């Protein structure tokens, strides 16, 4: 591609409405343009990156034995009514009517359509297992689209759906997809983790999200430094209390703490760190009463974990002030486990404390030197808190750090939810009708592009990983219009590189060097060959690596083989 014939529009200034770096750079580099909120045009350069990602996804899906098909974006409402999601899905589902007043949706996902395909096409267990996939535009009417293409309303997604005769086959298909996803993201050069996720309301036994690690990510995840363990922050378990705590060394005492309601105030006033204090939270119980949850002062309650505990109302609800007063005789800020009559559940970490500080269950009073077993009964314990950096990994290897991630893929075992609701059946070996199990596996293709930029950029612009760069090599000429030698050399290299099957972009514009270099860095083409009279005279052309910043030389008569060597690894 010759840049002189390619209307790129790069901008020095950052558009005001772009918040995250990938959005800013995609706009500045001219990869995308906004058409409406969360809806973007991919300009040719941007589309090339999308196609590169697609190609890798397609190759690995094919390698895993999945079959590509293409389903319609517009789907009849009847299918959604059949699955029950016409009512369930809510306003994120874009609904519309045709001229005959028939109802349709613009597909946010394709479980209904694929299940319809399956019930028509699959007749025998002998056709199982099978995995269908497509790479297709989805539309989700997000409440708040943001971050450009990262959370758009219309986005390109690879979605796959597998059908299985039994659990073992489903598990096998799921594992194959996990392998395929791992290969894809590795090939794309992304730093990612497979994260244990909640199976949520969909049910099923296994679910993992693929998260690209980036500070701008919307999800908090806990990752181990000892192995590949990673989980959503809310889902990572904390270590159980091992039964040993330091011996009590202080007497139980009550101290006046007027006006100090927060852990921060108490620890400042008494000169103890927050991890020597406990906080007591009163939540509504499932039996109409209340339950006290006790955590270490520096820890955070995890609502998902708490509401799973017997006796605690789900969804979790903090008790209101009158109920707290009735149950404890005091107001929030001075609560403690001492003398409480309601059920008390203590987080493992709080249970491990000795000589701790807690509220005195009286306004403006705290207790110090409190010890389980001496001043209080041995506690009823549970995992109540979010993991924090430094906690041991649940995998048993390494310690956890809290990172942020961008969810680019999600795989899960669906079970029979859709096949049952939509009566997709096949005949089993005995000639009886059976309902196959399903798995589903998504990748946000366009989101991957944004995530890759989040992870690969510097102050000058994008730094594409080779496999998903719009172009692999950039030929950058200096003095283009005045030097015939430069033109001749560059034209020849352009042809040769193309013939060698290398994706080459040729900046043959009659622009000043500064402009060309700046654009090269903004666009982030990984390998740049600079062609100037100086280099030609010396027989050696300049090679620049966008990522390493390395500035080397290549023999002018061996550019193609030298580059091929560079690209090989």
Which residues of the shown chain bind RNA in the complex (CB under 7 A)? 9-17, 19, 34, 36-38, 92, 140, 142-147, 150-153, 155, 157, 200, 209-210, 218-219, 407-410, 442-444, 446-447, 460, 478-479, 481-482, 512-515, 517-519, 521-522, 530, 532-535, 542, 544
> What is the DSSP secondary structure assignment for residue 41, as one 8-state letter?
E
And the tokens for 91?
């306003």
Preceding amide of 315 cis, omega within 30? yes
Cβ of residue 223: shortest distance to RNA, in angstroms? 17
State the DSSP string of 400-421. EEEEEEEEEEEEEEEETHHHHH
Nearer CB in complex with RNA: 336/526: 526
Nearer CB in complex with RNA: 107/145: 145
> What is the DSSP secondary structure assignment for residue 3, as one 8-state letter?
G
Give the largest CA-CA distance in the chain.
92
**Strands in 107-191 per DSSP E:** 130-139, 154-164
45, 31 in Cβ contact below 8 A? yes
Cβ of residue 217: shortest distance to RNA, in angstroms? 9
Nearer CB in complex with RNA: 62/218: 218
Nearer CB in complex with RNA: 350/522: 522
Cβ of residue 430: shortest distance to RNA, in angstroms? 36
Nearer CB in complex with RNA: 145/337: 145
Cβ of residue 322: shortest distance to RNA, in angstroms? 25
Cβ of residue 93: shortest distance to RNA, in angstroms? 11
Cβ of residue 526: shortest distance to RNA, in angstroms? 15
Nearer CB in complex with RNA: 9/250: 9
Q: Give the Cα separation of 367 and 29 in Å (integer).
A: 61
Cβ of residue 544: shortest distance to RNA, in angstroms? 7
Name the residue among 277, 244, 221 with its Cα closest to residue 394.
Answer: 221
- The residue assigned the tokens 């209390």 is 241
Nearer CB in complex with RNA: 125/441: 441
Helices within 335-444 (DSSP H only): 348-351, 417-421
Q: Give the Cα separation of 107 and 140 in Å (integer).
A: 8
Sorted by sequence, the CB contacts under 8 Å of residue 110 that are 6+ apart come out as 71, 75, 134, 136, 159, 161
Q: Give the Cα separation of 227 and 210 in Å (integer).
A: 16
């Amino acid at each position: 591609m010759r840049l002189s014939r390619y209307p790129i529009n790069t901008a020095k200034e950052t558009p005001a409405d772009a918040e995250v770096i990938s959005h800013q750079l995609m706009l500045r580099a001219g990869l995308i343009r906004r058409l409406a909120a969360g809806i973007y045009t991919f300009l040719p350069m941007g589309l090339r990156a999308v196609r590169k990602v697609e190609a890798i996804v397609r190759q690995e899906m094919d390698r895993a034995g999945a079959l590509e098909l293409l389903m319609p974006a517009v789907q009849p409402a009847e299918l959604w009514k059949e699955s029950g999601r016409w009512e369930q899905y809510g306003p994120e589902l874009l609904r519309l009517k045709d001229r005959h007043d028939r109802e349709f949706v613009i597909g946010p996902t394709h479980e209904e359509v694929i299940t319809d395909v399956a019930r028509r096409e699959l007749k025998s267990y002998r056709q199982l297992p099978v995995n269908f996939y497509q790479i297709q535009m989805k539309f989700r009417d997000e409440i708040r689209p943001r971050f450009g293409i990262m959370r758009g309303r219309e986005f390109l997604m690879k979605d796959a759906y597998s059908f299985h005769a039994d659990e073992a086959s489903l598990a096998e298909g799921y594992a194959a997809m996990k392998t395929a996803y791992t290969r894809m993201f590795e090939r794309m050069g992304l730093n990612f983790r497979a994260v244990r996720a909640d199976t949520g309301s969909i049910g099923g036994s296994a679910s993992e999200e693929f998260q690209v690690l980036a500070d701008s990510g919307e999800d908090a995840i806990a990752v181990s430094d000892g192995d590949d363990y990673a989980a959503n922050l809310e889902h990572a378990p904390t270590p159980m209390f091992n039964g040993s705590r330091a011996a009590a060394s202080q007497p139980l005492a009550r101290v006046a703490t007027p006006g100090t309601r927060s852990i921060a105030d108490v620890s400042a006033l008494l000169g103890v760190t927050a991890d020597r204090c406990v906080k007591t939270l009163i939540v509504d119980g499932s039996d109409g009463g209340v339950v006290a949850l006790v955590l270490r002062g520096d820890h955070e309650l995890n609502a998902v974990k708490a509401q799973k505990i017997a006796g605690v109302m789900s969804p979790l609800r903090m008790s209101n002030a009158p109920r707290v007063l009735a149950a404890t005789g005091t107001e929030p800020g001075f609560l403690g486990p001492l003398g409480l009559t309601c059920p008390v559940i203590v987080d493992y970490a709080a249970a491990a404390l000795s000589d701790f500080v807690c509220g005195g269950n009286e306004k403006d009073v705290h207790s110090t030197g409190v010890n389980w077993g001496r001043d209080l009964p041995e506690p009823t314990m549970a995992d109540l808190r979010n993991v924090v950096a430094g906690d041991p990994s649940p995998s048993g290897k390494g310690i956890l750090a809290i990172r942020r991630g961008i969810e680019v893929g999600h795989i899960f075992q669906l079970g029979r939810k859709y096949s049952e609701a939509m009566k997709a059946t096949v005949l089993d070996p005995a000639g009886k009708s059976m309902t196959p199990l399903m798995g589903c596996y998504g990748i946000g293709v366009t989101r991957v592009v944004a995530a890759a930029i989040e992870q690969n950029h510097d102050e000058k612009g994008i730094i594409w990983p080779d496999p998903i760069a719009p172009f692999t090599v950039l030929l950058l000429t200096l003095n283009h219009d005045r030097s015939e030698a430069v033109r001749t050399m560059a034209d020849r290299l352009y042809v040769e590189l193309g013939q060698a099957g290398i994706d080459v972009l040729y900046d043959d514009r009659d622009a000043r060097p500064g402009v060309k270099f700046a654009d090269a860095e903004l666009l982030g083409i990984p390998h740049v060959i600079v062609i100037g009279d100086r280099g030609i005279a010396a027989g050696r052309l300049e090679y620049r690596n966008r990522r390493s910043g390395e500035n080397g030389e290549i023999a002018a008569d061996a550019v193609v083989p030298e580059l091929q060597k560079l690209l090989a690894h």
